[in-house]
Amino acid sequence: MSTTIDNIIHYTNFRKDGTRVPMLEVHYTTQKGFEGIVHVKEEGATKESITAAVTKAAALPESLIGAEIGK
């Protein structure tokens, strides 16, 4: 499955306990045209961990696009 990362947005997640967690919002498009978003903690994020998160999130929608249902 081929996936393109379209954009990455940095934001801060404010937790109930008052802590702030820097996050990355990763926008992607799959080969079949599915557009999705994953959220990853910035701390400890690597190219490999972001790729793994996108691949995992895109797997199910990508497998359903073009599928014949009800046969």
Per-position pLDDT tens, the chain of length 71: 799 999 999 999 999 999 999 999 999 999 999 999 999 999 999 999 999 999 999 999 999 999 888 86
Are residues 58 and 36 in contact, defined by beta-carbon separation less than 8 angstroms?
yes
Locate 39 and state its tokens: 């959220």
Residue whose structure tokens are 């961990």 = 49
Are residues 40 and 22 in contact, defined by beta-carbon separation less than 8 angstroms?
no
**Model-level pTM greater than 0.85?**
yes
Locate 35 and state its tokens: 């557009």
Strand partners, 35: 29
Side by side, which strands form the sheet with 20-30? 3-14, 20-30, 35-41
